[in-house]
A and B are shown apart, each in its own frame.
Chain A
């Protein structure tokens, strides 16, 4: 078994997995390792990081010095094939003036849309470019309503997921340090973190003076070899992907060993159209568009696992209508597409005189921050002293990074009208003296944020597309104002000066909904069938041989990037599905 084309499928598989990113990769890995015959469908093309990753290329080796364009919105070298706009696959959002419009490529900090949707169309999905931030949800994050009365509790607790966090971290490799911090569970599997860079130490001193913990980041990047994968060699940006497999990508860590079992077939350029069901309401398989021929193909399996990303999986369910499921599959209680959340985000930059003319050293490191500030004032927040209910983490950016158009723009901002040798002197003086702080914070699910099928628009293959409703509440807007104040205090604590001023209007400071790429919650799990789409094992309440393993099952969107939790929950769901199949209960 291997990469196949659409005409070569087996008669019936044990499982069909839709998607090949964190959720799909992990689902296929767990099932194939256990001997299940698995078919993976990926809507994008095949992708091989070993031969496609631009390692060591300078920005001068790229068109336009690697600058972002509407076609490559994160810059030329970003590994993602896809982005805010995918050819042939529109989606619909509301403009700030209230009109519906097709989602466009826009600046996420200055968006005229209330929602942006980042999609990858490639094997490995969004794991090929993600930030590698791997933070466990803590005990509070699973029971937020019990703690502060807002949002919803998960039907599971930290203890249910902890063993799977262990397994996932041991498999993918995460560096970090045991800190014993409140609601930030440590791991027994941390690899040693890299040493901080100079500007990070300066930020850490400022943080300590403010009473904030600034500790080693937790990133899915190897600092020691693991399972035949090399350790990071501290060069070239992770966002390009990694040909030496030092960071976690589904395409380097999950799919190759799954293929090696001989139990996995993969069809790329396979756009799922709907999940098929029989008269008894059982899932029988999937119908997909073979993009190579434009033809619809049906495949059958004992169980179906949706791992297409939270919103794509919701779209698939809503488009899987039948007499038995007139409002879409697993949507008997109307929860599919609802409870859509993203992380909050805001940023602030500054310049630090102490960093000017610093001795020249290599500050590449792992390309992501080596230190971060986990959320700290849990008790004051619970006591209502902060004026907003949920937290965020903060990370520093800066240093002597590989120069691009943005690097020199910051320097020129300090250099007045200098040119000639004076300009070259200023460039050496200011290079590496700029810092920026950013945050990712928790959004509480609300009634006004959801996705649904657009009444008119379809994609190239005639599949109805999503339309998004999205609104931040005051909880999030107040939180980002606090972020801005924290960033300003850190920059000033480093002896620096903020560029401009912290933005104290939350609506202006916050990034556009969806633009942090943590859009989750659209097929949430619940303790009772009427409150959600899935049970505590990511199994559809109404269709027992149907599972969702991406970000859809999340009940809260803690201030922790979702990928690690997606990996853990996917593993847990697949273990449960196989136990149920063995017991003869499903499939």
Chain B
């Protein structure tokens, strides 16, 4: 079969148009334009991955929006949420900050909404750290960072009211970004994605655990 990317471009007829054809084209063009408005597509003019991307290659066509300052906070906060331990590395070690930048920069409605929540949250966090500690969040001491985070997740605090929605949204991206990597698989206990000649079914220890032995 021919190379998949060796496809002729559309509508490149070298022949002059008749008036009827030209009118048809105008109608067709306006229809084509209207059908480009895929719902759920936020930022005007931004390019998405398209309806027929190369599935073997990760190509991100949109510009990243996070500033270096924001990225620093994302890195520190991400590692507080997923720190290194005996089960695996910290979030930043597997590219989670870059993934979050990729996510909040994407042109789709859902990601744009998340981007607003996350960037507003990062700004609040930094301002709050400055107010409390006289330093931005990323530059505060580890115990100060943890204290602020604990305040956000504690019931009934002003910090929770201001930032818990941001925290859960951000944590969702950190955890999703982390556990979808091979290092994350180890940390969560996913041992699939390997070819096997037979599917063995659950071993005795699983049956015992489930009360089926």
List B78-122 residues whose CB lies under 8 Å from chain A. Answer: 80-83, 85, 87-88, 94-95, 99, 102-103, 106, 108-109, 111
- Is B162 interfacial (CB 8 A cutoff)? no
A201–B202 Cα distance when bound, in Å, is: 9
Question: Shortest beta-carbon distance, B29 to chain A, in Å?
Answer: 8
C-alpha spacing A403/B63, complex, angstroms: 27
Which of A56, A106, A359, A424 meets B205, CB within 8 Å? A359
What is the 8 Å Cβ interface bit string for chain A, positions 106-121, against chain B (1 contact, 0 not)?
A: 1000000000000000
CB of A13 to closest CB in B, whole Å: 21
Shortest beta-carbon distance from A525 to chain B in Å: 34
Expressed in whole angstroms, the Cα–Cα distance for A428 and B87 within the complex equals: 10
B interface, size bucket: 35 or more
Name the segment of A79-87, A307-315, A527-535 touching the other chain. Answer: A79-87
B185 lies within 8 A of A85 (CB): no
Task: Please classify the interface of chain B as helix (H, G, I), strand (E, B), loop, or mixed, using the class held by over half of its residues.
Answer: loop
With A and B bound together, what is the CA distance between A459 and B60 in angstroms?
A: 30
The distance in angstroms between the C-alpha atoms of A461 and B28, with both chains bound, is 6
Q: Do the beta carbons of B2 and A77 come within 8 Å of each other?
A: no
Segment among B68-76, B124-132, B133-141, B186-194 that sits at the interface with chain A: B186-194
- B111 A64 Cβ-Cβ under 8 A: yes
Nearest Cβ distance between residue A217 and chain B, in whole angstroms?
13
Given contacts A71-B38, A462-B28, contact A66 B108 (CB under 8 A): no
A411 contacts the other chain (CB 8 A): yes
Contact assessment for A104 and B13 in the assembled complex, using a CB-CB cutoff below 8 Å: no
B8 within 8 Å of A (CB atoms): yes
Q: Which residues of B contact A362 (CB under 8 A)?
A: 191-192, 194, 196
Asked whether A358 and B206 contact (CB < 8 A) given A194-B199, A421-B85, the answer is yes
Is B188 touching A402 in the complex (CB atoms < 8 A)?
no
CA distance A195 to B41 in the complex (A): 43
B16 at the interface (CB under 8 A from A): no
How long is the Cα–Cα vector from A403 to B184 in the complex, in angstroms?
9
Task: Say yes or no for A381: interface residue by CB 8 A criterion.
Answer: no
Known: A197-B201, A202-B212. A431 touches B190 (CB 8 A): yes
Does any Cβ of B come within 8 Å of A61's Cβ?
A: yes
User: Is A341 interfacial (CB-CB < 8 Å)?
Assistant: no
Known: A359-B203, A407-B179, A411-B175. A235 touches B50 (CB 8 A): no
Q: Decide if A163 is an interface residue (CB 8 Å cutoff).
A: no
Chain B residues near A358 (CB, 8 Å)?
206, 209-210
When A417-B164, A459-B31 are in contact, do A201 and B212 touch as well, CB less than 8 Å? Answer: yes
> Is A105 touching B10 in the complex (CB atoms < 8 A)?
no
Q: Which residues of B contact A59 (CB under 8 A)?
A: 180
Q: Is A292 an interface residue (CB 8 A)?
A: yes
Q: Contact: A365 with B199, CB < 8 Å?
A: yes
Question: Would B172 and A408 count as touching, CB distance under 8 A?
Answer: yes
B149 touching A409, Cβ below 8 Å: no
How many Å lie between the Cα of A460 and that of B153 in the bound state? 53
Task: Indicate whether A205 sits within 8 Å of B190 (C-beta atoms), given known contacts A69-B49, A77-B55.
Answer: no
Does A294 contact B10, Cβ atoms closer than 8 Å?
A: yes
Report A-chain residues with C-beta under 8 Å of the C-beta of B198. Answer: 234
On whether A63 and B56 interact (CB within 8 A), knowing A362-B192, A462-B27, the answer reads no
Q: Confirm or deny: A52 has a beta carbon within 8 angstroms of a beta carbon on chain B.
A: yes
Q: Tell me whether A76 and B53 are in contact (CB under 8 A).
A: yes
Asked if B18 CB lies within 8 Å of chain A CBs, one says: no
A233 close to B38 (CB less than 8 A): no
Known: A58-B182, A362-B192. A195 touches B167 (CB 8 A): no
Chain A min CB distance to B21 (Å)? 9
- A1 contacts partner chain B, Cβ-Cβ < 8 Å: no
In the assembled complex, the CB of A363 is this many whole angstroms from the nearest CB of chain B, namely 7
Residues from 42 to 67 in A contacting B, C-beta threshold 8 Å: 45-48, 51-54, 56-66
B181 within 8 A of A: yes
CA distance A361 to B211 in the complex (A): 16
CB nearest neighbor in B for A419: B81
Contacts A234-B195, A357-B209, A358-B206 known; 16 new A-B pairs at CB < 8 A:
A54-B55, A65-B176, A70-B40, A85-B38, A87-B32, A106-B39, A201-B207, A201-B210, A235-B192, A235-B194, A354-B210, A359-B203, A400-B191, A408-B176, A419-B171, A424-B187
Can you list 5 contacts pairing A with B, beta carbon distance less than 8 Å? A46-B7, A62-B58, A72-B49, A105-B38, A362-B191
The 3 closest A-B pairs by CB, nearest first: A195-B201, A417-B153, A233-B195
Instruction: Give A residues with C-beta under 8 Å from B.
Output: 3, 45-48, 51-54, 56-66, 69-72, 76-77, 79, 81-83, 85-90, 102, 104-106, 194-198, 201-202, 205, 233-236, 240, 269, 291-295, 354-355, 357-366, 370, 400-405, 407-409, 411-412, 417, 419-421, 423-424, 427-428, 431-432, 457-462
